Amino acid sequence: MVETLESLPEYVRPWFIWLSTLTLGQIWKTIYNPPNKINLTIAFLVISLKLPEYLKKFRTWRESKRVVVFDWPLPKEANKDWRGKIIKSPSLFSHNQDESLLPPESGKTGEKREHITCYDPSTGYHLLTIPLLTASEVSDQITKTHIAQKEWAQTTFAQRTSFLRSLKAWVLKDMHGIVRVACRDTGKTEVDAVFGEILTTLSKLDWLITYGEKTISPTARPGNLLLAHKVSKVHYTPLGTVLALVSWNYSFHNLISPILAALFAGNTIVVKCSEQVAWSSLWFIGGIKACLRACGLNDDVVQLVICLPDVAETVTRNKLIKHITFIGSEPVGKKVALAAAEIMVPTCIELGGKDPSVILPGTDLNFFASTWMRGAFQSAGQNCIGTELFMVHRSQYNRFIEIMESRVKTLRPGTDVGSLISHAPIPKLESILTSAEKSGARILVGGKQFNHPDYPEAAYFEPTLIVDVTMDMDIAQEELFAPVMTVVPYDEVDEAVEWLNRSRFGLGGGVYGKDKKECRRVAEKLECGMIAINE
């Protein structure tokens, strides 16, 4: 204590000595004064007036934290040991060649319906043959969702957050089942399903739970001297019933992602899934509806549409739809944009791309090798923003090829790399690769369909490494959506950037190198929607 006092300035010491002699009670009395009738009355009035507000906030907080646990039975087909009927040359219309694939009730009602055959592309097993709804029946679904929207718009953020928490609890509890369903319908590996279906979905759930309410709550805007007597705020109100047309490559994530955003914003949603993943989409939607019911909410707020393109045209032109989200190919994206223009609604359209990775001189190739392997071969290359084009500086070109060739050769179709979604793209893939080879490119690994010894009807394509590609080849200009690593050598960085910026694609890209400043400089020059640096 003496040392402490001596270290203090002279004028502070008396105050410090006085303070050190006080008891806690004396400090309380000195600072706050003992309670008396006046300040007790004031405190009681203040608390009484604020109590309803505090209780309401507490109830809201407690409601938002509520997690409802529910069960959604896993289909038997998701079991790893399940074996189905093998379809010869499987396709969406295999039931037309083999009527035994049709459901037992088909034709008994006297009403002719269109069907689609659902199958596992990694085995050729028959999953289900689904009767399709007519345009008028789909219109009824949209109307049902539209009617439910008025009630849903009145739900609180706490109710919606509770629903998201319950959905997250289901994803965590039944993660393995969700993965198995996704794998069975798309042919991907379990590792790819965990990365692309589960982790991404959980991340979006967490973001909405944490930041969703704050993001769309009313926010003030700065004014000016002329309107100094006014207050300006932006209020976000639900649009109504929205539509999402989603792709097959991530059957769970792509389906649930627009549902999460739409419902949290107070909208209801109609989802048109890809016919390629109708079987899994039915089960996933069933789980979401089960969660809504368990939370005491109306499950009409979500509707799944399974239809062929002719009926889809009527869905995109339905005047009850107030916004359209689309994930898919460019030709279909153009049709969606045209339909949206006719009914005057906004769109969010995500197409594919020929996403490049620019590997700068001096990059640590061994360090990033696994990253590039996953970028090219995750989900058998069927990624909207998966790397399709590897731009490698000539100073490291041979070493890059040496590293990648040995690694690509070890990939095992059916174990390390899943199947394609169907056999349909295989002839075109082989044609593009053959054309590139004739133009001077070299196929070092793969390049053709893989015939699986256990599943001869499966849709596998050999993991492929093609090098010495030039930017004027078709393979450098067309999105392959396949397990193909395409390598292009370059001499000058700015030249490579110029090549890429002339491309008609620009969804995403990557830049790799040791010099962070140079990486950022190149990233800023690339004309892409999103660019990762060393990631």
Residue 286 in 3-state DSSP? helix
Q: Whose structure tokens read 């040995």?
A: 406
Residues whose CB falls within 8 Å of the CB of residue 214, separated by 6 or more in sequence, listed in order: none
Nearest residue to 263 (alpha-carbon basis) of 138, 159, 139, 171: 159
In the set 190, 350, 430, 478, the catalytic residue is 350
- Whether the CB-CB separation of 343 and 319 falls below 8 Å is answered with yes
- DSSP assignment of 332-386, as one string? HHHHHHHHHHHHT--EEEE-----EEEE-TT--HHHHHHHHHHHHHGGGG--TTS
Q: Whose structure tokens read 């319950």?
A: 166
Which DSSP symbol is given to 95?
Answer: G
CA 287 to chain centre: 18
Cα–Cα distance measured from residue 85 to residue 120, given in angstroms and rounded to the nearest whole number: 10
Does residue 3 carry a catalytic annotation?
Answer: no
CB atoms within 10 A of CB 228: 7
Cα–Cα distance measured from residue 275 to residue 24, given in angstroms and rounded to the nearest whole number: 74
Cα–Cα distance measured from residue 249 to residue 276, given in angstroms and rounded to the nearest whole number: 9
State the pairing for strand pair 449-450/530-533.
unpaired
- Whether the CB-CB separation of 369 and 407 falls below 8 Å is answered with yes
Residue 528 in 3-state DSSP? coil
Give phi and psi for 64, each to the nearest 5: -70, -25
Cα–Cα distance measured from residue 406 to residue 119, given in angstroms and rounded to the nearest whole number: 33
Cα–Cα distance measured from residue 285 to residue 291, given in angstroms and rounded to the nearest whole number: 10
Which helix (H) or strand (E) segment is 173 a member of?
helix 157-173
CB atoms within 10 A of CB 62: 11
Residues taking part in catalysis: 350
